Amino acid sequence: MDKTSSVSIHEGKPIRCKAALCRKAGEALVIEEIQVDPPQAYEVRIKILCTSLCHTDVAFWKLEWGPLARFPRILGHEAVGVVESIGELVDGFKQGDVVLPVFHPHCEECRDCKSPKSNWCSRFCDDFVSNTRRYGMASRFKDFSGEDIYHFFFVSSFSEYTVVDIAHLVNISPEIPVDKAALLSCCVSTGVGAAWKVANVEEGSTVAIFGLGAVGLAVAEGARLRGAAKIIGVDLNPDKFEIGKRFGITDFVNPALSGEKKISQVIKEMTEGGVDYSFECIGLTSSMEEAFNSTRTGSGKTVILGKEKQMLPISLGSHDLLRGRTICGTLFGGLKPKLDIPILVDSYLKKELNLNGFITHELSFEEINKAFDLLVKGETIRCVLWMDK
C-alpha cells in the first residue's frame, strides 16, 4: 500500500467519504457518506489506513444513557493514518506523515506534561466530553442531511478521514507495518506501559493479570520484557492460556473452575502469600477487588486498567492498605504518547517488543459489524479493519 497516497486536492475544503455511524446504542453501525471539514488551527486531517476494535468501543457502542451516550457518533480510537492536510499553527506534522491518533492527550506544555511523574495532561485530560479538543462541541463531521455527528475520544477512526488535534497525534517511523502500529495506538501501549511505567515490574517478580484480552496480553508482554518470573493469567475463556503463553503467561486460573475458593485465595496459594503486582484488565469491580486481594501484604501493588462502565466504587479492606499494599489506576499505561510511543516502535523494530499474535482477524472496513460481533463473542483479540480493501 502506498502510504503517502493522500489526497491533497481537498486541502482547505470539505471531503466526502465513507464512515461507520453508530446511530443508536447497540444497533449495527451504518456505513454512510459523510462530510469531513478541513482542520482548524492545531488540527490535522488524516486519512485512516487501518483501524482496530477495542473493548472501549464496544462499551460506548452499547452505552444507552448518561452524558457520554451520544448519537449519531463515529466510534474508533485504535488506528494509523497518513496526514492529508494541516490546519494553521501546526508544527511537526506535514502531508504524507504516518501518524498514530491517541485518545490520551499530550499537550507537552502544561505543568503535568512537563513533569515525569505521570502522563496526566492537566490542560486537556479533564475534558473527555467535547467533540474537538480546543473547540468544545464543534464537530468536523456532518451526515447527508447536514446534521453534526459526534466525535469519539478525539479520534473517531471508523471513518476514511478524521480530524485530530495535534495534542492527540504522534508521528511514527514508516518502517513499522501499519497494522502493528495501530496496536500501539491503544491496547499494547496501555498494557505494556502499565507494566513498565506504572508498576515498574522488576526482574524475578510475580504478576497476576485479570482478563487476557489485548490489554491483558500486552501487560503480560510488558511484564515478560521486564523479566517477571511468574505471570499468572486469569480468564473465563480457557483458550486464553495457550494464547497467553506467547506473551509470557506461565500459569493460568479459570475462575469458573475454582469452585468455592476466591481467585485471590488461589493466587495466594500459588505464590506463597500473593503476587508482587496485579493488573485488572476486564472492567469489573469484583475483579478489581480480587486483584487487590491477590497481592502480597506489605508491598503488593495493583494497577487498574479496565473501565467500569457505570463508574461504580470499589471496596477495599482499610487494614490491607494500612499493611502496605497499594492500588492505582492508569489511562494509556502511564505513557506520554509523544515521548513513549516512538520508544515502543523502536523496541518493536529491534525485535524486542513482540507484536505478533494480537491480530487474529483482518476484515475490510465494510465488514465492521462482523468485527463487533467477534469482539463481543470473545472470538478475537484484535480485528484489524482495512480502509482500502
**212 is an interface residue for ligand NAD by CB under 6 A:** yes
**C-beta neighbour count of 200 within 10 angstroms:** 12
Can you say whether the dihedral through the CA atoms of 114, 115, 116, 122 is positive or negative? negative
Q: Which three cell numbers stand for residue 186?
A: 491503544
**21 is an interface residue for Zn ion by CB under 5 A:** no
# residues contacting Zn ion (CB under 5 A):
5
**68 is an interface residue for ligand NAD by CB under 6 A:** no
In this structure, are residues 210 and 281 in contact, taking their beta carbons and an 8 Å threshold? Answer: yes
> What whole-number distance in Å separates Cα of residue 363 and Cα of residue 386?
6
In this structure, are residues 302 and 280 in contact, taking their beta carbons and an 8 Å threshold? Answer: yes
Ranked by CB distance to ligand NAD, the top (closest) residue is 213
Give the residue with the Cβ less far from Zn ion, 120 or 348: 120
The type of residue at 22 is: C
**107 is an interface residue for Zn ion by CB under 5 A:** yes
Choosing among ligand NAD, Zn ion, none, which partner's interface includes residue 345 (Cβ < 5 to 8 Å by kind)? none
Measured from the CB of residue 374, what is the shortest distance to ligand NAD in angstroms?
Answer: 10
- Tell how far CA 32 is from the center of its chain: 25
Q: Binding pattern to Zn ion, positions 48-87, x when CB under 5 A? A: ----------------------------------------
Among 31, 58, 59, 110, binds Zn ion (CB under 5 A): 110
> What whole-number distance in Å separates Cα of residue 17 and Cα of residue 162?
10
Q: Binding pattern to ligand NAD, positions 304-343, x when CB under 6 A? A: -xxx----------------------xxx-----------
Strands (E), the chain: 15-21, 30-36, 43-52, 78-86, 98-101, 141-142, 161-165, 169-171, 206-210, 230-234, 251-253, 277-280, 301-304, 326-329, 359-364, 382-386
Measured from the CB of residue 76, what is the shortest distance to Zn ion in angstroms?
Answer: 24
Measured from the CB of residue 54, what is the shortest distance to ligand NAD in angstroms?
Answer: 5
In this structure, are residues 163 and 15 in contact, taking their beta carbons and an 8 Å threshold? Answer: no
**331 is an interface residue for Zn ion by CB under 5 A:** no
In this structure, are residues 299 and 325 in contact, taking their beta carbons and an 8 Å threshold? Answer: yes
Give the residue with the Cβ less far from ligand NAD, 228 or 331: 331
> What whole-number distance in Å separates Cα of residue 91 and Cα of residue 166?
9
In sequence order, the β-bridge partners of residue 142 are 35, 148
Choosing among ligand NAD, Zn ion, none, which partner's interface includes residue 113 (Cβ < 5 to 8 Å by kind)? Zn ion
**Residues 120-159 contacting Zn ion, CB under 5 A:** 121, 123
Q: Binding pattern to ligand NAD, positions 30-59, x when CB under 6 A? A: ------------------------xxx--x
Choosing among Zn ion, ligand NAD, none, which partner's interface includes residue 190 (Cβ < 5 to 8 Å by kind)? ligand NAD
Choosing among Zn ion, ligand NAD, none, which partner's interface includes residue 212 (Cβ < 5 to 8 Å by kind)? ligand NAD
> What whole-number distance in Å separates Cα of residue 297 and Cα of residue 317?
12
- Tell how far CA 322 is from the center of its chain: 33
**187 is an interface residue for ligand NAD by CB under 6 A:** yes
Residues that bind Zn ion in the complex, under the rule CB under 5 A = 107, 110, 113, 121, 123
Residues making contact with ligand NAD (CB under 6 A): 54-56, 59, 186-187, 190, 211-216, 234-237, 240, 255, 281-284, 287, 305-307, 330-332, 378
